[in-house]
Amino acid sequence: MPTSPEGTGRALRRWSRKAQLYDRLTAPMERMLGFERAREWIFARVPKGRVLEVGAGTGRNIAHYPAGPVIVASDLSPGMLARAAEKAERVEGACRLVVTDAEDLAFRDGAFDAVIATCVFCSVPDPLRGLREVRRVLKNGGEVLLLEHMRPRGWLGRLFDLVDPIVNRVMGPHVNRRTLDTIREAGLILVEERNVFSDWIKLIVAR
**148-207 binders of ligand SAM (CB under 6 A):** 173
**12-31 binders of ligand SAM (CB under 6 A):** 15
Per CB under 6 A, does 124 bind ligand SAM?
yes
Contact pick of 83, 101, 148, 201 for ligand SAM (by CB under 6 A):
101
Nearer to ligand SAM, 6 or 140 (CB): 6
- The terminus-to-terminus CA distance of the chain in angstroms comes to 25
Least CB distance from residue 135 to ligand SAM, whole Å?
A: 15
Per CB under 6 A, does 127 bind ligand SAM?
no
Least CB distance from residue 119 to ligand SAM, whole Å?
A: 4
Select the residue whose beta carbon is closest to ligand SAM and give its number. Answer: 57
By CB under 6 A, which span of 65-73, 76-84, 158-166, 190-198 interacts with ligand SAM? 76-84
Residues of this chain that interact with ligand SAM (CB under 6 A) are 8, 11, 15, 55-57, 60, 75-77, 80, 101-103, 118-120, 123-125, 173
